[in-house]
Amino acid sequence: MRYSGPKDVGRADSLYKSALTKPDPDYAAQLLFSALAANPEHQGAFDAIIGRIPAFAAKRRKMVVRTSDLVGTGPADEFIKSLAAFCAGPIADNGLACAAEAFKAGLVPYAISLGERLLRAIDANEWSPKAIAITRLIEVLEGSDALEAAASAARHAVRLYPDDQGFKEREKNLLARRYMQETDLASAPTFQKTMKSRAQQAALHRPTDHNSHLEGLENRYRQSHSLEDFRELVRALREAQPVRREAAITILQDGLGRFGDRDTRWFLREIELERKWAEVRLHQQMLSESPSSDKLLAEHQRLRTEVLNEHVEYLYEVVASLPPGTPDRHRRELELARKLLDAGRHEEAIKQAQAVKRRAEHRLEAWLIMAKSFVQLGWTAEAGECFEQILTELKTSTSDSLQKALEAKYSYAEFLIDQAIGKRDSTLAYQARKLCSDIMIEDIDFRDVRKLASRLERLMSELA
């Protein structure tokens, strides 16, 4: 089922672009809703509306929209009204009502997006739905053909209402539908190959849902409180989604209190840092929507600096605790060097990168971190030596990725153009232009390489 009502694509795009430039959050929200009313399938307007909910909540305000100015008798009008109600009161029940109205209107992507948002709320223990509510959620997701999400909702229902046999049957049916959808049972060669492979046969009977596996591990640890069960749970959590790891903080803290092991303490710090980096990304999104807001820019810079420094101090602790010369320490030193460069602590970044470049793995990236740091410190001779070493590495190495090679050449070209301008040296400008050519041959859309090449052409003409 798809939306089949009227839409004004041009007007919606115009209103959406206008909303992104407005510093007043209330006026911007009204414009975004107007864009959605003009074209209910405008995904950008919908995403922007949902993305602004945390910003209003952070200021302890409600997003109030005058829907009476927007709706009439169209097929998406009830959805728009329910979305406004959800934005004004972003609670799970309102979100469920909005998902249901999106499904009725044929706006399936919105129904799935809202449904998955509700699943994350259940994962994080922020919503404990009643049986009728989770049944409705399953129906919306199943009707939207989001079988993976519908099966996850049914699994939550089984956990919340273990005595309800209907939910167990629903879960089995959804898993079967998903399997039928993903598997070509009519293909005889596929069937024969499966029959000959023990691993594939075993996979048919092995639980594939990671969250279900985690719940089993959590329950087992709660009963045994053994170190072995706790370590198995931690290994599984490291592969889980961030929201699932956050939901397990309490049980991780319990394990830390019982066993006091260093790795668990670090893991908890990593989860905390993940959450803080998510806040930084949210601020970045808000800033991109209101780029002229000095207040937002200052808040974003403050928050980013704070999290960067916390991350750096955590990595210093980890590096100091690991045995020298081990692959794990080498990996962590590189991670620390990256964060120090991001934090503007350039001399410290050089020190860490120097330890990394002594080994073959990640040597190119270590040289690049050193080169960028020397540039920022104004040590041009050392930066030039690093970039020359990078070019040598690129000629002899076959293991480094194309992306790393392009990044190295782009950074060297930026360095050379600054040197060419300062020294009025056409040879340096020509070298930088040659690097731009190398980049464009591989990827013409890499960063701003075309603009950089045009700038060099003008500079070479001036210096000729």
pLDDT tens digits, the chain, 464 residues: what are they? Answer: 677 788 889 999 999 999 999 889 999 999 999 999 999 999 999 999 998 998 888 888 889 888 887 877 778 888 999 999 999 998 999 999 999 999 998 899 999 999 999 998 888 778 888 889 999 999 999 888 888 899 889 988 888 887 788 888 888 888 877 777 666 554 545 545 555 555 555 554 444 455 667 888 888 898 999 988 898 899 888 888 887 888 889 999 999 999 988 889 999 999 999 989 988 888 888 888 888 888 888 888 999 999 999 999 999 999 999 888 777 888 899 999 999 999 999 999 999 999 888 777 788 888 989 988 998 898 888 988 888 888 887 776 655 567 778 888 888 898 888 888 988 888 888 889 998 998 999 888 888 899 999 999 998 888 87
Q: What is the pLDDT of residue 206?
A: 46
Using alpha carbons, select from 453, 428, 427 the residue that is nearest to residue 440: 453
DSSP 235-301: HHHHTS-HHHHHHTHHHHHHHHHHH--HHHHHHHHHHHHHHHHHHHHHHHHHHHHSTT-HHHHHHHH
Tell me, what's the pLDDT at 340? 95
Q: In sequence order, which residues have a C-beta less than 8 Å from that of residue 390 and are 6 or more positions away?
A: 364, 367, 368, 371, 408, 412
129 in Cβ contact with 123 (< 8 Å) = no
Among candidates 331, 333, 330, 336, which has minimal Cα distance to 308?
Answer: 336
C-alpha–C-alpha distance, residues 222 and 336, integer Å: 35
374-417 tens-digit pLDDT: 988 988 889 888 888 888 877 766 555 677 788 888 888 988 88
Distance CA(31)–CA(37), nearest Å, equals: 10
For 132, the token pair is: 């009728």
Nearest C-alpha neighbor of 347 from the set 373, 309, 317, 380: 373
- pLDDT, one tens digit per residue, over 407-458 is 888 888 988 888 889 888 888 888 899 989 989 998 888 888 999 999 999 9
The pLDDT value recorded for residue 398 is 54
Task: State the pLDDT at residue 316.
Answer: 94
pTM value?
A: 0.52
Neighbouring CB atoms inside 10 A of 398's CB total: 5
Q: What is the pLDDT of residue 202?
A: 52
In the chain, what percentage of residues exceed pLDDT 70? 91
The whole-number pLDDT of residue 200 equals 54
N- to C-terminal Cα distance for the chain? 65
- Going from the C-alpha of 193 to that of each of 74, 178, 317, the distances in angstroms are 52, 21, 50
